[in-house]
Every structure is written in structure tokens, then in C-alpha cells.
Structure 1
């Protein structure tokens, strides 16, 4: 099998960057030509300039750190809960079958709709934010762990059992390494969901620092729309950064899985 090296700036990255730049240029042209009223949508250049200017705003940087901190705590807690639960459900079909109806009932409930309920349950805003992140982001990790276990090569497991290894040894030596790339994908999906819930919780409840809280306060300022969109750019940049880091980590740690996928694809 020929190893296929990964290039940090491949064609997909270049095309993605070109698409973003093209969209910004189109939005800027639409505003300057009067196709879109600048009262309803500020110029893209003004939004980007305001977003760049927020680098020197210490209060805003504290809000970014608050959002990132809640995001990290919630994602870590969701991973710590969902991975063991997924390993249990994926390893014991009887338990998975009995809990599947409950999972399918809870999973489609919009997490944002539960924020007002969580505000009554949790008095501390950070605890509420973390709890909402855990509830929303645990599902992709849980389901990917279960599906990953179902994709493990049965011949490899039977071979290990034939040599006298017990269930825990098979899980540790075969099932968990084979499932790890699926878990990593679930965490990457959950990271985006966690960021959405972090900002949404801050925006809907207030009372705590964060990008959502900054947007809530910006609405009452003269440049409220521009500040709101600039903060949104920061939220999107934070999501893009974390997703890129998780992709790089996954490709480095699971290089063997990436090589097999690229070679067979």
C-alpha cells in the first residue's frame, strides 16, 4: 500500500478560501452598488474592520475566553460521559436495544428550546451553559462510538478470543483502537454543536460573560448591527479554528486510518 502524504494546503483548502473571499467580495460589491441597503446589512469591509478592532477590546477578549472556557468544559464533560456510555451500549446489544427508544426520543429535541427550562434548574450561569453543551454535544459522540463498535472486524475479535483473551482485553486491544477514529469524528461534530449552544445560552440568558452576552449588549449601541456581525465573525472564526485543530490532531493520531481511507477512496 502506498502512503499518501497529506499537504497542509491542498486543493480543497484553496477552493474553500477562494469561495470565502469571493463571497466577501460579492457582498462588498452589493453594498457599494446599492443592491443591498447598508442600513440593513453593513459593508463586509466595515464588519471585518470592526472584527479586527475588537482585538484591542479587553472586555470583548474576556467574553471570547468565557465562551471558549465554557465550550471546552462542556465538550470535555460530554466526551467523558458519551464515550463510556457508547462503549457499553455498543458492546452489550441487549442494553442498546432497551435504551434505543429513549435515545431516539431525546436526541431530536432542540437543545436551544431547553435553555429556558435550564435557567430554572441551574442558578449558576456557567453550570447551565456547560449542562446545555453536554446535553447537545453528547449525542454525536455517543452514536459514533456505537456505530464504530459495530464496524469492528469480527474476525480480529474472534482471533483474539481464540488465543484466550477475555472481553475486556478484546475491547482494549481491538474494539477501542478501531473505534477511535469514529469517536474523533463524533467529537469534531460535537465541537461545533457545543459552540452553538455556548453562544446561544449566553445570548438567551445573559448574566454571564461570553460572545452571546456581548451581542446582547451590542444591540443597544449605535453600531449594534455592525458589532453583532463582527462578534459573529469571531464566533465563526473560533469554530473554524477548533475544527481545523481537531482535523489536524485526528490526521496525526490516526494517520493509519487516513491513509487507508485515501487509498481506498
Structure 2
């Protein structure tokens, strides 16, 4: 993002915070429902200095990391197999089309019955919800590889397995990274949601218990921290994508100029 756009984004956020603070201070909105931003910040800092916030963030990140990692470990290979080999797609299509429309939140009661209300349940829900964008984007990425790349590799005597590894997978990486970023956002949402529904730790649990005990400042602080965490994770994946796919961006630029 250009520096000018970053400044505009920062000023926009600052304006929202200013309106929030002014609306609460002037009783335009009831401060008991929407405390001033500075009050939220004080409550958040108090819990942070006591170590409460860090414990909840680590609990959420544990479910997030393990669930998303499982989704990557399963989704990418399955997407490659279904995209590269029509037989695998034909065999798995019915199951894929049946499971994919089921809302991830609807899986939470099943996960609670099978796995209880602790970490395993939250990891399973995160895995289920984040699997589909990884699998489908990998599948579409394999489908969308330019046939010219494959034909050229065959002309040079490359075998099918070598073509898949050296030509098809690198060409599909932009799709895969897009799927990973989408899955990352879904994973965080589901980690927090499952903690709110049936959890004893994590940011979702922190927000829920703060609301139930009328600690409104802490509640808003937990919600804002969840948004900040999601933003930082997205920036991290974008930076990683930029490093790994720098060659792809340069190649596409050469093609467009050519």
C-alpha cells in the first residue's frame, strides 16, 4: 500500500475513534452501553498488565494455529489430487458438495458431543471451517494453470510427477496463498466463536464473561483486540506471500509488458 493510502487509512481510523470518544463523552450514546474509547483502553491496559489478556490471546492462537495447520496439511494435498487427477475429483465431488454448504457454526454442537468443550473441540471447528477455502483455491489453482506451461515441460521430456511438482504447483501458488489468507480469517472467527459458545478460555470466552459481568470496557477491549489480531495476521500472510511469490509477480509483469 502506498504511503499516502496508509496515512489516509490511519486518519480514517483516528476519526472513528474521535467520533466514538465524543459521542460517549457528550452522552449522545449511553456510556453504560458504549464507554469512551479512553475508558476502554484503560480497562484493557489494566487486564493486560495483570497478564489476563496474554493468557486469553495464547489460548485463542493455540486453537487457531493447530486448526489452520491441519486445514493446510489436508486441504492442499487434497486440492492438488482433485485438480490434477480427474478420478480423485469424481470420487470426492459428492462429499465435497455435501459438506461445504454446512455452516461451520452448525458443527459446534457435534464437536461438543464428540470432543467436549475444551481445546480439541475448538481445533476441530477451526479445521472444518478453514479447510474449504484452502482445498477449493488449490483445486482452482491447479485447474487454471496455463496448458502452455505443461505442454512445454512435456516437450522437454519432463514426466507427469515432475511437471506437477516443478510447473503446476508453482503456477498455482497465488491461488493457494489466497485460500490460506481467507482460511486464516475464518480460522480466527471460528476460534473466537467456539470460545464464546462453549469455552473456558480464549478471547471469545473473555468477551462473553466480560459482557455477562457487565464489564463493558473489557468487552469492547476484547472485541477490538480480536480485530487487531486478525489485521496483523493478514498483514503477515501478505508479507509472506510477497516474499515467496516475488518471482511470480515479476514474471506476470514481464508478460504484460511483452
With normalisation by structure 1, the TM-score equals 0.89
Q: Give the distance between the partners of 2:170 and 2:115, measured in 1 at CA.
A: 37
Q: Give the distance between the partners of 1:66 and 1:17, measured in 2 at CA.
A: 29
> Quick check: 1:170 aligned with 2:163?
yes
Map of 1:134-149 to 2, 5 A cutoff?
A: 134-149=127-142
Match of 2:213 in 1: 221
Match of 1:104 in 2: 97
SS state at 1:219 partner:
helix
> Quick check: 1:204 aligned with 2:204?
no
Out of 244-253 and 28-37, give the one that drifted further: 28-37
Match of 2:228 in 1: 237
1:59 CA displacement: 2.7
Contact 1:111 1:132 in 2 (8 A): yes
Q: Give the distance between the partners of 1:52 and 1:13, measured in 2 at CA.
A: 26
Contact 2:117 2:198 in 1 (8 A): no
SS state at 1:73 partner:
helix
With normalisation by structure 2, the TM-score equals 0.91
Q: Give the distance between the partners of 1:74 and 1:254, measured in 2 at CA.
A: 25
SS state at 2:204 partner:
helix
> Quick check: 1:156 aligned with 2:149?
yes
Contact 2:111 2:121 in 1 (8 A): yes
1:100 CA displacement: 3.0
> Quick check: 1:255 aligned with 2:240?
no
1:93 CA displacement: 2.5
- For structure 2, the residue ranges without an aligned partner over 5 or more in a row are none
SS state at 1:109 partner:
coil
Match of 1:4 in 2: none
Q: Give the distance between the partners of 1:11 and 1:110, measured in 2 at CA.
A: 39
1:28 CA displacement: 1.8
Q: Give the distance between the partners of 1:159 and 1:260, measured in 2 at CA.
A: 17
Contact 2:67 2:123 in 1 (8 A): yes
Contact 2:60 2:203 in 1 (8 A): yes
1:262 CA displacement: 6.9
SS state at 1:147 partner:
helix
| Cα separation, partners in 2 of 1:152 and 1:198, compared to 1, 3 Å | same
1:34 CA displacement: 2.5
Count of residues paired in the alignment:
256
| Cα separation, partners in 2 of 1:12 and 1:100, compared to 1, 3 Å | farther
